[in-house]
Amino acid sequence: MAVPARLTIITLGVRDVARSTAFYGALGWEPDPASTPEITFLRTSGSVLALFAHDALAQDAGVDGEQPSSFRGVTTAINLDGDDDVVRVLAEAEAAGAVVTKPAAPSPFFAGLDGYFADPDGHLWEVAHNPDLPG
């Protein structure tokens, strides 16, 4: 039997669940009713983004909880319908408190724009218009 090729929940370890919930709320993402003060579940198109205390997440996973201070080797991406959407979403994320780490620019990998922002805990989000992938 093979492991199913699907993403159901992506959990971000955060320093302050309430602050991160407010940040993603400012992006227009609403918490699921199953959320608690300890963990926020945000429904996305086809999966769930969870926000959970970093140290508690490390403990749950059975790993060292020392907070990484630099690039973690993982990004999460949102593919949009057009280049104008990339520019708009990066601006909205910045207005919500994100740090834009790469402004919208032509991608060297596909025919569209991409850019990146970091959430309050430094989790990187790529915002892209790759017309060869579903939005």
The length of the chain is 135
State pLDDT tens for residues 69-87: 667 778 999 999 999 999 9
**Spatial distance between the Cα atoms of 117 and 106, rounded to a whole number of angstroms:** 16
- Cα dihedral 48, 135, 70, 30, rounded to 10, equals -40
pLDDT mean across residues, the chain: 91
Rounded average pLDDT over 12-22: 96
Helix segments in the chain, DSSP class H: 17-26, 54-61, 83-95
Q: Per-residue confidence at 25, pLDDT binned at 50, 70, 90?
A: very high
- The pLDDT, as a whole number, for residue 71 is 75
Q: What is the pTM of this model?
A: 0.87
Domains parsed from the chain with CATH numbers? 9-61 (3.10.180.10), 77-128 (3.10.180.10)
